[in-house]
Amino acid sequence: MAADIKVTELAHELRKSIANIEVADGLESVGTVTKIGDGVAWIHGLRSAGFSEMLEIETKDGIVEAFALNLMEDEIGAVLLGTDVSVSAGDTVRLKGTVLEVPVGPELLGRVVDPLGRPLDGAGPIKTKQTGLVEREAIGVMGRKSVHEPLMTGIMSIDSMFPVGRGQRELIIGDRQTGKTAIAIDTMINQAKQKTGVVNVYVAIGQKLSKIARLVDRLKQEGVMDQTIIVATGPSDPASMLYLAPYAGTAMGEYFRDNKQHALMIYDDLTKHAVAYRQMSLLLRRPPGREAFPGDVFYLHSRLLERSAKLSDELGAGSLTALPIIETQAGDISAYIPTNVISITDGQIFMETDLFYQGIRPAISAGLSVSRVGGAAQTKAVKSVSGHLKLGLSQFRELASFAQFGSDLDEETKSQIERGQRLTELLKQVQYQPMSIWEQVASIYAVTNGLFDKVSVAKIKDAQVALLTRLWTENKDDMRTLEKGDKPSDDVLKLLHKVAVSAAKGFEE
């Protein structure tokens, strides 16, 4: 007991002494703004500033925050987090003594915030108990576990051919207007519909504000907003905000990962992020490299995506899955940023413009898409029915173009083409309607086993709806069992077979 009192007194005395010292030496380090423009301030003095440390610029209209990115012999280059209108040369700059942190926690769910965690939705202040570091080192090797749990996107072609696991980084890549964001939104909606408990963090990097507003409305309509955080930056925001957005969003997602939960990050899109970073780097006079991007543009994305991980059991087995989006120009995936991000991620879903305009939506290219780690995480039920789906579909696309030249094909090729046409038709899916596990299993089973071979291609979707309706109305319990994701029993397969055959009858040619 006595020892306790002494320790308390010790701490008290120490605090008092520190306070006295602080009062006695009121001299604080200050620097001066020497140049300002394009959101970058050059500062003289502050030799003790650290990399990425926060600075406060005292202007006539109040404090403007900045962070130090260029530490040079004679000056510091700092990027402003706000407008540079009120900052002028000669303003005093102080060190804040901290690096950038953002509020994190469940209080952010359902909110639209900026990269500093300030609310943008007008729904009142956000009071979180914790803050998280915007720039944080990724978890080490021992803190990780291999990806083994599925993260269902609800999109049949992805879940069957390129499954995504919790903790995986799967790139969505394609030209403009090919449905990249739609896939990400459907995945978020599916998390709510299937009640997976996965928290969505959507990071909009330089997206049109009208697009973000539409997205928020849609998510509210679908009832997904309650488990979603939106980090929004628009095209008129400073480049520093666009640069910070994905890191800030990841800090918010990491809170759930580190608290034994699962989170899904969507970075829409990293092309704009790289462009914002290029702008900052050029203004900071860093030497330009390929396509004028700075030398560390690979590290920019690799350190971001490395934070997505499946944690080990000792660390609570939480996960952070990432779906980064990259926009290509005229389908060129060999440009600088696309190749970088392809090599960082664990696979990519490639969207093709041609497919999109042929009406094959989602316009996923079966040949160029891949999931490098998702196989181990695929739902067993879906895996059991979609074995050769990807190969069959790729072969079909090849054969289909080849078959245009002549009609005298052998029977096997013909049947392969016909099966492929039906599969392509089946994998078409309307936006905002993610499918549950049993729906996917039943649909794929019916087509890959040739049960819909006599149904005309145009009526495949109708036959599918008939099959699913009958299965749900007549065999609810079996479908609920199938929904659990385990490999379907022979009885269930027999049931699927029987119902599919009878459902197909109404649509045969």
Would residue 166 show up in a list of annotated catalytic residues for this protein? no
Between 34 and 302, CB nearer to other proteins: 34
Between 73 and 313, CB nearer to other proteins: 73
- Least separation in angstroms between residue 28's CB and other proteins is 6
Between 44 and 397, CB nearer to other proteins: 44
- Least separation in angstroms between residue 27's CB and other proteins is 4
Start-to-end CA distance of the chain, whole Å, equals: 90
Tokens of 387: 């074995």
- Least separation in angstroms between residue 29's CB and other proteins is 6
Task: Please enumerate in sequence order all residues whose Cβ is within 8 A of that of 480, keeping only pairs 6 or more positions apart, or say none.
Answer: 438
- DSSP secondary structure, 53-80, as one string: EEEEEEETTEEEEEEEEEE-SS-EEEEE
Between 80 and 95, CB nearer to other proteins: 95
Range list of β-strands (E), 168-310? 171-174, 199-204, 228-232, 262-268
- Least separation in angstroms between residue 63's CB and other proteins is 7
Between 21 and 27, CB nearer to other proteins: 27
Quick one: 436 exposed, middle or buried, by C-beta within 10 A (0-12, 13-18, 19+)?
middle
- The binding site for other proteins (CB under 8 A) comprises 26-32, 34, 44-47, 62-63, 73-74, 92
Catalytic residue, chosen from 136, 372, 397, 470, is 372
User: Tokens 């960082």 appear where?
Assistant: 344
User: Tokens 């990399």 appear where?
Assistant: 51
- Least separation in angstroms between residue 126's CB and other proteins is 18
> CA 91, CA 63: separation in Å to the nearest integer?
10
> CA 76, CA 70: separation in Å to the nearest integer?
5
Between 10 and 63, CB nearer to other proteins: 63
- Least separation in angstroms between residue 40's CB and other proteins is 17
Q: Is 171 helix (H, G, I), strand (E, B) or coil?
A: strand
User: Tokens 């006295």 appear where?
Assistant: 20
Between 27 and 142, CB nearer to other proteins: 27
- Least separation in angstroms between residue 20's CB and other proteins is 14
> CA 270, CA 171: separation in Å to the nearest integer?
10
> CA 161, CA 388: separation in Å to the nearest integer?
9
HEC readout, 91-124: CEEEEEEEECEEEECHHHCCCEECCCCCECCCCC
107 sits in the region (left: phi over 0; alpha: psi -120 to 50; else beta) called alpha
Q: Helix axis angle, 490-505 relative to 460-474, nearest 10°?
A: 130
Residues facing 150 on adjacent strands: 165
- DSSP secondary structure, 281-318, as one string: HHHTTPPB-GGG-BTTHHHHHHHHHTT--BBPGGGT--
- Least separation in angstroms between residue 297's CB and other proteins is 28
Between 72 and 465, CB nearer to other proteins: 72
* E strand or H helix at 44: strand 40-45
Count of beta carbons in the 10 Å neighbourhood of residue 410: 8
- Residues annotated catalytic, as ranges: 372
